[in-house]
Structure 1
Amino acid sequence: MNLLSIESLQALDPIEFENLIRVLFERMGFNATTTKASGDGGIDVVAINEQPIVGGKYVIQCKRYTKGNNIGEPVIRELYGVMHAENANKGILVTTSDFTKQAIAFSQDKAIELINGMYLLSLLSNYCPELGIEQSTISTISNIQNEPTGFNGIDWGTNIQNLSDMIPYEQTDWYGQYKSFDRKTDVLIIGDAKVESMLYSFFKDELYSVQVISRGWENGQALFNYLRSLHGDDFKLNEDDVWRRYKWLGGKVEINFNYGKTSNDGEIIYRYLPLWDEAKMQNEMAYQEHLQKSQFELPKKSIPSGQCFVATVVYGSPSSSEVEILRRWRDNFLARTSIGRDLIEIYYETGPSLAWFVERMPIIKGVLKVAIDIFIRVLRKRNYA
């Protein structure tokens, strides 16, 4: 296969398609195998990371569906059940089509990854470049006019060592691979919008994400109009009672704009997909490694400051939606006051020990989860979701 397109993927027979997905995950650093045709619970590929201690297991279903034949919620529910039965870290569904709104909503707060046709082509172009991508397919993948090659003059993938005007903001993963910075020289204006912050995130010291925050209706609308004027109207809209979420998906860059209906706050998140995908998986695997190591080490030796320690233990992942909500509350509420910053500092000192204790007390972990769930419901209503 010299050229790659949705049509060529759909033309593969089931075994060829499963083998292609196996090769993709091998290129991403996993030991992947296809399963037998029966007795596998619908799982087509099992991918395992065999780094010492980590041992993360991912179960993958592959669906060669035609355009418009989208994957529904029942299929995702079935995958979720199989994932637990297999004691897997994550369930992944790969399709050449897309997913219904109900399927996406069901997966959002669970350890499930949905890979649609356009996203699959993007991954294959990054990890299996020898397949090639025909020009007509590139225009199909990139729904973004003027797809950004970076932000504010910094190209995606730029090493932090080459930038002299960055101010360390936070280190939020287990082993320092993920770091965030403010920039001294930034003018906090985008288009006609005045913004509150621009946060640059680096994975393995390379720029892979930028977050922009605005406050108030006027600035939120100005940010959205800026994105539309620059990148077009070919976006996906996901809306609920609290948020309007817009997504532009390009060949290598994803742009998300979240607008709070009651708060009128706006948030742009740029993601450079070649690094974002790797960072997401590494963060999950690093957490599993921490769980293993913490049986033998004191947590302060293995966990740097800047993490939602207890919540990560309670919800089982540093990238769970609940932990992300708590981070936003910390950054957008607590960190704004001197008292809040003092509380954060105290928590960073005591959090690792608390997490180490909670990790070994299932009853206390369960009680804390109930309490934190209630608090998160309150935060969702206040637009921290």
Structure 2
Amino acid sequence: MIIWGSGGGVCIAGDAGMRDCPVCQSAQRFDLTVSYRYAHIWYAFSWVTSRRYQAVCSRCHNGVALTKQEFQSRVSKDPIPVMRRRGWLLIPALVGLVIVVGAVQERRQGDDVAASIAAPHAGDIYFADLSKLVKGFDQSPAYGALKLVSADGNMLTFMAAKTAYNKKRSVESDVRSGKAGTDDYYDRDEPMTLSTDQLRQLQSNRVIYDVNHGADTPVAGTTSKAPGGPATASASSTGHGGPSLAADYSRAVMQAVQTNWIRPDNTPASSCKVRVTQQPGGHITGIDIESDCPYDEAGKRSVVNAVRRADPLPYQGYEKAFQSTIVITFASMSDASQP
């Protein structure tokens, strides 16, 4: 909703000296004033629409009109507040800022997608306009997720999400919540195979526009993006819904966090525990890395960011298992430990 309107004000610009006031019928001190009207959009973006210059009696406030030239010859600067005169300049400034931020974000997303195509990992989730890739989506655009399952040389196999949206943030919400991390979220009956060249072309055409790095192993026939091997995460909870529900809840939290963990290359083959406090609904209120975590600063930032990206954590359906404090264990295993 656009809020617009108008207003006005009076500014005293200085001393106009002593003059005979016809109302007071005596010599009085007069002030230089400018009365103005302004228009605004959302109150902040404003501009002056009219001015009236006067010499005003300091006693009775009777005014004598002045010309613009007379007024400006006696003052050194415009007394009207700059935001009233130039507030409209914020509009192009904000538009420019939005364009710059959008360009930076698009560049980052493009770099992430290119890196993932060059070194794909099973579990990587690509954000795409599924109406350009999958039959059955009547709306366009239809933003949804593509989950990388496997690869054979330069041919990559994906599962497409069963659900698509007309807004990108809806897909991002599914990924952050962990909903898009489960296989049931995807159509497993109709896998899709694309070459790396096709993926690059889809990225160039902005059909694929972002990627969320999975935490599974590198797919067969590709080079690992992180030489430390597969990354896993586990969550411990002592809820009151019974062992089965508690286990399901821990797995759901693990999946939500695991999907969002972008593990640095030099992460040691060891585990790091993070204590997370949350409110009902899964909204995170605190993240604390336990003191014995062996990761360096980059590794610690990566686990904290993984938890933040998963906010809010899974909650619906796990209310009885919910705990306000849980411990999430991040584990990175070296390739040498793999059978």
Structure 1 and Structure 2 fold alike (TM over 0.5): no
Taking structure 2 as the reference length, the TM-score comes to 0.24
The structure with the largest strand share of the pair is: 2
Q: Which has the larger radius of gyration?
A: 2
Taking structure 1 as the reference length, the TM-score comes to 0.22
The structure with the largest helix share of the pair is: 1
